[in-house]
Amino acid sequence: MTPVSRVSFVGAGPGDAELVTLKALRRLREADVIVHDRLVPVELLGEARADAELVDAGKAPGRHCLGQAEINWLLVDRARRRGRVVRLKGGDPAVFGRLAEEIDAVRAAGIPFEIVPGVTAATAAAARAGISLTERGQASMLVLASATDHTGRASGSVDWGLLARAEGTLAFYMGVRALETVTASLTTLGRDPREPAILVERVGHPEERIIAARLGEIAAAARAAAAESPAILITGPTVAAASAPLSVRRVPAGAAAPADPVVVEA
């Protein structure tokens, strides 16, 4: 019998397996092949059928298990030969997940596909820190930006002047290596260096840490704490209410956000 081909691009969320949707779980349990990223929750892979093929396509800074062209070929090949393929991506597949390239490959091959959204790192990090990303009268704009380009260098395509003037919340993905460049670009062009900021490392994982400081000092605080990828930087007026001290804090996975807000001294 010819297999029914379909590629499902599924969001695995930021690290907490309980944050996935019911549809994501159903697709994982139905899949003949699961092609997954490096940081997806291990518990989700445990939902696969015993006879499902699991392929680690994970990328790490400076190391690639599979190139993008190889991943594109793999999705098409497995869909044709095996049938139902899940491309399991960390966070939300449509947010800095190179989704468009993979869709183009699947569409060009004439294979049906679908996108199953997931919780992205910015919303998960805000939830863990106990803050809102928007607030009436203070933050009516939310900007999701990549701090680095495809080479790992500070992004040259970002309009730093626009972000420096934006009256709202800024969330920078993939920002650890470029943190000093990001914060210096914003403050040099007019964003208040005293604005509260947090860097949330390994959102939703057991090793999650929240580093809180002023925008002008967060890079030094992260360096002192030896922060590593993956981490997301969030800055803006609502961050002052974050449930973390002005230091490094570990938040146990599954725990509620602490009640005490950040206190940033003048």
Q: How far apart are CA 6 and CA 211, in angstroms?
A: 41
Residues 106-110: contacts with CB under 8 Å, at least 24 apart: 106/7, 106/72, 106/75, 106/76, 106/79, 109/76, 109/79, 109/80
Candidate list 16, 37, 89, 92, residue with the active-site label: 37
- Candidates 182, 148, 186; CA nearest to 168 is 186
Does the annotation mark 37 as catalytic? yes
CA 239, CA 261: separation in Å to the nearest integer?
Answer: 9
Set 23, 59, 149, 192: catalytic member: 59
Q: Is 23 a catalytic residue?
A: no
The C-alpha atoms of residue 160 and residue 33 are separated, in whole angstroms, by 41
Measured CA to CA, the distance from residue 228 to residue 176 in angstroms comes to 6
- The helix/strand/coil state of 83 is coil
Compute how many other C-beta atoms are within 10 angstroms of the C-beta atom of residue 140: 11
- For the record, the structure tokens of 145 come out as 């930006």
Residue spans of beta strands (DSSP E) within the chain: 6-11, 33-36, 53-56, 59-60, 63-64, 84-89, 113-116, 142-146, 169-173, 196-201, 209-214, 231-235, 248-250
What is d(CA 136, CA 29) in angstroms, rounded to the nearest whole number?
Answer: 41
Which active-site residues does the annotation give? 37, 59
